[in-house]
A and B are shown apart, each in its own frame.
Chain A
């Protein structure tokens, strides 16, 4: 299958980006260097092209019911302009995907939502919504708009200042997880105070044909998926396919540490299983760790206890550009999950001492 390309692929290539395949998309992974890009976001501001993220639009008389039944959080708490993190779970309560749900202004008097599934999952998610809508006999329109909108993430302590430079109605009064339509570089964009870096910042949903204007006016360090990964690991945020994967690493939201995004007082697919899981308590949970010995932990490396018995697996790891220390995430039995616990990570056949740390690893906005 040919890779999908973001609208600005040519512009990124001219800027000297290296590309990688991610979720079926050909995306910029590095513009200058991961460390340079990472530092720009932590200390100043950087911009990411995240057009590989999906956009699914849901409206109609039963839009709220449909969203409520297919996401783990309570969408009835959302007022227009609110954003909410949620998981999408299967009947067993395992995470299929995680997503941010935005409540858009009402359309034709009906509550209307935009949610953002992960790269490459938009078609399956769209089908899932249509399938359940029909099964439940609900009246709702579900549109996959992934190819209609680019998405940019403007992230860093100076993101609001930069947005103000190019937007007369820059919504800098927005709180975290709030959103509104704003005119950015002359283009109306859904503008949300959300992100995936642990910093202050905005995510912009931009009509695809006008994406070049917005990108070029928001002049700052362009950042690729490489820095996006190091930033989100420092912030302790999950990556689909690594911290959860329905096929290779099925996890409940409780195991993955996102129980805060589950509201068991709502009715959703997977709820009954999660009530049981919540009562039983988790056997394994996602922890952050730092390597004490030299080395870099990476996805799929074994985690052992201090005696060398394998007890878990690294889901993500990197050399933290901010801390200048090797850090990672992985699942271990709860008895090894307390911060300060000594573990080992097997790096290319050699055991390296590690210590469980609280996440996020850094102070977040």
Chain B
């Protein structure tokens, strides 16, 4: 089975992705991660304005069969969260790199982004 690993963003070993946008860094989980979890039924995210550090737990994702912590690929302030996930957590399964995004973080350190895996490196990890 092969999974999407778009090369426009960077990755954490724990299967989160980080994508630079005009406003900050957008964060979500990968196609591989959503497939491992199966049907996502609940996502718990931090409040807007909350500060999180790189590698800190920022939330929880529950599927029917498992529960998993979410780790911040970069630190900063939570600019926005994807509230659509509260009513439609299945977006994480359907479109993990797009509509299923979780957070937008502002004020992140560029160096933290550079520490993350490239798409190629992440692809090797899940191969």
Q: Which residues from A are CB-within-8-Å of B64?
A: 34-35, 226, 230, 318-319, 321
Q: Does B123 contact A (CB under 8 A)?
A: no
User: Are A298 and B67 CB-contacts (below 8 A) given A319-B62, A348-B60?
Assistant: yes
Q: In whole angstroms, how far apart are the Cα atoms of A230 and B65 in the complex? A: 9
Q: In whole angstroms, how far apart are the Cα atoms of A296 and B62 in the complex? A: 7
- Min CB distance A165 to B, Å, is 30
- Min CB distance A73 to B, Å, is 33
Query: Which residues of B, 83-116, contact A by the 8 Å Cβ criterion?
Result: 93
Q: Which residues from A are CB-within-8-Å of B78?
A: none
Q: In whole angstroms, how far apart are the Cα atoms of A363 and B38 in the complex? A: 26
Q: Which residues from B are CB-within-8-Å of A294?
A: 42, 44
B42 contacts A34, CB within 8 Å?
Answer: no
Residue in A30, A226, A319 whose beta carbon sits within 8 Å of that of B41 in the complex: A319
Which A residue sits closest to B65, measured CB to CB?
Answer: A226
Q: In whole angstroms, how far apart are the Cα atoms of A230 and B62 in the complex? A: 15
Q: Which residues from A are CB-within-8-Å of B65?
A: 29-30, 34, 226
User: Are A34 and B39 CB-contacts (below 8 A) given A296-B67, A298-B67?
Assistant: yes
The number of chain A residues with a CB under 8 A from chain B is 17
B39 contacts A33, CB within 8 Å?
Answer: yes
Q: In whole angstroms, how far apart are the Cα atoms of A34 and B1 in the complex? A: 18
For chain B, which range describes its interface: under 10, 10 to 19, 20 to 34, or 35 or more residues? 10 to 19
Q: In whole angstroms, how far apart are the Cα atoms of A321 and B90 in the complex? A: 12
Residue in B1, B39, B42, B93 whose beta carbon sits within 8 Å of that of A295 in the complex: B42
A16 contacts B1, CB within 8 Å?
Answer: yes
Q: In whole angstroms, how far apart are the Cα atoms of A298 and B93 in the complex? A: 21
Q: Which residues from A are CB-within-8-Å of B41?
A: 296, 319
- Min CB distance A95 to B, Å, is 25
User: Are A35 and B67 CB-contacts (below 8 A) given A295-B62, A348-B60?
Assistant: no
Q: In whole angstroms, how far apart are the Cα atoms of A343 and B1 in the complex? A: 43
A226 contacts B38, CB within 8 Å?
Answer: yes
Q: In whole angstroms, how far apart are the Cα atoms of A10 and B39 in the complex? A: 24
Which B residue sits closest to A38, measured CB to CB?
Answer: B64
Residue in B39, B67, B93 whose beta carbon sits within 8 Å of that of A348 in the complex: B67
Contact pattern, B 30-72, Cβ under 8 Å of A = 1, otherwise 0: 0000000011011010000000000000001010110100000
Q: Which residues from A are CB-within-8-Å of B62?
A: 295-296, 319
Query: Which residues of A, 281-317, contact B by the 8 Å Cβ criterion?
Result: 294-296, 298
Q: In whole angstroms, how far apart are the Cα atoms of A298 and B42 in the complex? A: 13
- Min CB distance A353 to B, Å, is 15
Q: Which residues from B are CB-within-8-Å of A16?
A: 1
Q: In whole angstroms, how far apart are the Cα atoms of A340 and B30 in the complex? A: 41
Q: In whole angstroms, how far apart are the Cα atoms of A30 and B44 in the complex? A: 25
B38 contacts A33, CB within 8 Å?
Answer: yes
Which B residue sits closest to A33, measured CB to CB?
Answer: B39
User: Are A296 and B42 CB-contacts (below 8 A) given A226-B64, A319-B62?
Assistant: yes
Which B residue sits closest to A294, measured CB to CB?
Answer: B42
Q: In whole angstroms, how far apart are the Cα atoms of A35 and B40 in the complex? A: 10
Q: Which residues from A are CB-within-8-Å of B67?
A: 296, 298, 348
- Min CB distance A32 to B, Å, is 10
Q: Which residues from A are CB-within-8-Å of B93?
A: 33
User: For B42, B44, B65, which residue has the most chain A Cβ atoms within 10 angstroms?
Assistant: B65
Q: In whole angstroms, how far apart are the Cα atoms of A84 and B41 in the complex? A: 36
- Min CB distance A71 to B, Å, is 32
Q: In whole angstroms, how far apart are the Cα atoms of A213 and B38 in the complex? A: 30
User: For A34, A226, A319, which residue has the most chain B Cβ atoms within 10 angstroms?
Assistant: A319
What 6 A-B pairs come out closest when comparing CB atoms?
A: A319-B41, A296-B62, A35-B39, A34-B64, A33-B39, A34-B39
Q: Which residues of A are at the interface with B, using a C-beta cutoff of 8 A?
A: 16, 29-30, 33-35, 226, 230, 294-296, 298, 318-319, 321, 326, 348
A-B contact pairs, 16 of them (CB 8 A): A30-B65, A33-B38, A33-B39, A34-B64, A34-B65, A35-B64, A226-B64, A226-B65, A294-B42, A296-B67, A318-B64, A319-B41, A319-B62, A321-B39, A321-B64, A348-B60
Using A30-B38, A33-B38, A296-B42 as known contacts, list a sample of 12 further A-B pairs with CB atoms less than 8 Å apart, ordered by residue number in A. A33-B93, A34-B38, A34-B64, A35-B39, A226-B64, A226-B65, A295-B42, A296-B62, A319-B42, A319-B64, A321-B39, A326-B42
